[in-house]
Amino acid sequence: MEVNGYKIEPGADLTGADLTGADLTGADLTGADLPGADLTGANLKNADLSYSDLSGANLSNANLSNADLSGANLTNATLSNADLSGANLFRANLIGANLIGANLTLANLKNADLSRADLTDANLDSVYLEGARLRGAKIEYGERRIKKSDSNSRWRYDEATDQHVHYSRWDTDDFGRTVETNEFGVQRRIDD
- Locate the domains of the chain by residue range: 1-192
Architecture of domain 1-192 in this structure: 3 Solenoid (2.160)
Per-residue model confidence as pLDDT tens for the chain (192 residues): 899 899 999 999 999 999 999 999 999 999 999 999 999 999 999 999 999 999 999 999 999 999 999 999 999 999 999 999 999 999 999 999 999 999 999 999 999 999 999 998 898 888 888 888 888 888 876 433 333 333 333 444 444 444 434 444 445 555 555 555 555 455 555 544
**DSSP letter string over 42-96?**
-B-TT-B-TT-B-TT-B-TT-B-TT-B-TT-B-TT-B-TT-B-TT-B-TT-B-TT
